[in-house]
Each structure stands twice: as C-alpha cells, then as structure tokens.
C-alpha cells in the first residue's frame, strides 16, 4: 500500500517546491490567519505611515522637495490599497480590517509612533525607515502567497525611490552649514534605534517566526534582516560624514558583519502595547480621517451601484434584441 499524505503535508510540499498559493487553493487555517494578520498590519503601517510625513508637506523647503514628498506619501496610500486588496483575497473584508485598526486591536509598525520634529526627519525616514522596509520587503517578494508576493514586487520598486529621496535629503543637509549637518545628525540619533526595532523582536522572542518560515511566508528571520540592514547602512552614514549613535558598533572581521550594541526591547514592547510617544495621536488622526471620509465611501458605493444597475440593464436589452 502506498504512503498516504495528509492535505497539510501536501500543502507543505507545495510551498517547499516554491509554488505560489492562490486564493482559491486549500490552505491551513493558521496559514490564512497568519497572512491576514501580517498583510493587514502591513497595510495599516503604510496608511498610518503617511501621517508623520504629511506633517511636513506644507513645510517642505522648496517646490521640488514638496512635490517629491507629496508623491512619496501618495505612493504609501497606494501601497495600503494593494495590501488591503491582497488581504481581502483571504476572505476578510476591508471594513473589518480597518475596524480592527481603529479600535486599537490590530497592530501597525512601531516606527510610526515617533514624532517628526524637523525637515531632516523626512531624510531619516526615507533613508532608514524605507531602507529597513525594503530589506524586509525584498524577501517578501518571494513569499508563498501569490497576491502578497505580487503586491510586494511593485511596492519594492517604489520603496527604492523613497529610500533615495531620503538619502538625498540627508546628503544635502550633511554637506550644508554646520547647523544643517547638526540637524541631520540629530535626526539620525533619534531614528536609528527605532528603525533597528522595526524588524521585530529577536529570533528567540519572535513567536510567529518558526511557523511563518516553515510556510515560506517569511523567507529570512527578523535578526538576519536586521543585520543585513545594519551592514548596508553603516557605510552610507560614513559616506556622508554622519555618526551612527551606537558606541558598540564595530566591524567584526571574523564574522564579516558589524557587531552592535544592545537594543532597548522594553521601549519596543511599550510602543507596540500602545504607549509610544505618538500612538494616541496617530490613532486619533486615523479615526478622524475615517469619519470625515464617510461621505466619500457612501458616494463611491452609490456610484458603483448605479454603474452595475446600468450594465445589468444594458446586458438585458442586448439579450432581448438578440432574441
């Protein structure tokens, strides 16, 4: 008698063979649940992530920088839309996901709970936050869920433009007056550690990692990605003459990577528990935007209804004239 394989085993073999799982395929409940959690958290992060930058659109120092920042923030709205759509293919409605964000039940990235105090923060966000987002998202282009992986390919292309936008601001300030260089250094000092924390808890404290790696949802661990980001970013800071605020940071010849100092995990867990410097402000801004946007959603729904009624009646008349 031949070996019998459970449906779970066949699913596992399917993802290990680098096939993409599509919405109508069978998948374990846990796989679906993990994806909805991660993709919706990712979508919320893009949308909440617009807030710290939107704060600077009216104060950008030139028309050129205003246009670029505006385009970047619009891209983030688009990323939120692709991601909500990808999550919806798993059977959870956008209303439900947004409801969970607004009630405080769903998480979004810790990084967006820090304030943007100066124009240099636009540089630090693009350089470091988008830089960290790219490191994480390049591996997600190979995630096992088809709609998520395809959304990631497009998002990554736009994120690399964002990273350059930020680095250009930092480079300009670092080459400017001593006050401007100081502003860039101050932004790096404030954004470095929160960016390092974006990758999530260390591998031994990451409850979801083992299963997500097994299902090929995540392709690299939180610590691996954090290390790659640090190794890539340190020379970029050196190139523009800025100092990374970590006295323990040094090149380890033997390992071929940088050693770095201890991460303040207490701060990270406080921020994701809702107690960061701007958590309340961010959620309040999203709730207000949701309420004020109600008429747009109603108008769009009414328009869609009118269009579908119109196409149903024209299909009916085409049918009767053909008869």
Which residues would be at the binding site for ligand FAQ (CB under 6 A)? 37-38, 41-42, 45-46, 49, 76, 107, 109-110, 125, 129-130, 133, 136, 198-201, 206-209, 212, 218, 222, 272
CA dihedral 280, 170, 74, 284 (to 10 degrees): 10
To ligand FAQ, the closest distance from the beta carbon of 55 in angstroms equals: 12
Residue 252 is encoded by which pair of tokens?
């380890």
Q: Which residue is it, tokens 């610590």?
A: 223
Q: Do 115 and 277 contact (CB within 8 A), yes or no?
A: yes
3-class SS of residue 155: helix
CB atoms within 10 A of CB 155: 22
DSSP one-letter string for 171-230: HHHHTS-HHHHHHHHHHHHHHHHHHHHTT-S-GGG-TTHHHHHHTTS-SS-HHHHHHHHH
Residue 274 is encoded by which pair of tokens?
């809702």
To ligand FAQ, the closest distance from the beta carbon of 211 in angstroms equals: 9
Residue 130 is encoded by which pair of tokens?
């988008």
Compare residues 15 and 181 and give the one whose CB is closer to ligand FAQ.
15
Helix (H) or strand (E) holding 85: helix 63-88
Look at phi and psi of residue 82 and say left if phi exceeds 0, alpha if psi is from -120 to 50, else beta.
Answer: alpha
To ligand FAQ, the closest distance from the beta carbon of 301 in angstroms equals: 28
φ, ψ for residue 190 (rounded to 5)? Answer: -80, -30
To ligand FAQ, the closest distance from the beta carbon of 181 in angstroms equals: 23
Compare residues 108 and 260 and give the one whose CB is closer to ligand FAQ.
108
Query: How far does Cα 166 stand from its chain's mean position?
Result: 16
């Amino acid at each position: 008698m031949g070996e019998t394989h459970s449906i779970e085993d066949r699913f596992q073999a399917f993802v290990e063979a680098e096939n993409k799982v599509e919405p109508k395929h069978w998948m374990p409940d846990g796989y679906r649940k993990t994806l909805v959690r991660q993709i919706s958290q990712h979508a919320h992060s893009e949308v909440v992530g617009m807030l710290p930058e939107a704060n600077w659109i009216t104060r950008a120092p030139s028309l050129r920088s205003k246009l670029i920042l505006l385009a970047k923030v619009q891209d983030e709205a688009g990323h939120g839309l692709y991601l909500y759509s990808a999550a919806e293919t798993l059977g959870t409605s956008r209303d439900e996901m947004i409801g969970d964000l607004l009630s405080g039940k769903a998480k979004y990235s810790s990084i967006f709970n820090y304030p943007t105090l100066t124009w240099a923060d636009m540089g630090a966000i693009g350089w470091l936050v988008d830089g960290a987002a790219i490191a994480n998202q390049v591996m997600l282009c190979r995630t096992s869920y088809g709609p998520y992986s395809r959304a990631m390919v497009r998002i990554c292309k736009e994120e690399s433009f964002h990273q350059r936008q930020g680095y250009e601001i930092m480079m300009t300030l670092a080459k400017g007056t001593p006050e401007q260089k100081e502003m860039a250094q101050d932004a790096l000092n404030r954004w470095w550690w929160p960016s390092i924390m974006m990758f999530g808890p260390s591998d031994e404290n990451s409850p979801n990692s083992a299963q997500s790696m097994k299902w090929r949802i995540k392709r690299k661990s939180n610590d691996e990605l954090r290390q790659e980001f640090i190794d890539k970013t340190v020379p970029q800071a050196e190139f523009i003459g800025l100092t990374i605020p970590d006295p323990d940071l040094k090149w380890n010849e033997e390992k071929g990577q940088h050693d770095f100092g201890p991460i303040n995990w207490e701060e990270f867990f406080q921020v994701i528990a809702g107690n960061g410097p701007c958590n309340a402000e961010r959620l309040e801004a999203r709730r207000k935007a949701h309420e004020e946007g109600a008429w747009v959603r109603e108008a769009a729904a009414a328009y869609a209804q009118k269009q579908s009624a119109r196409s149903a009646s024209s299909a009916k008349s085409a049918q009767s004239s053909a008869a």
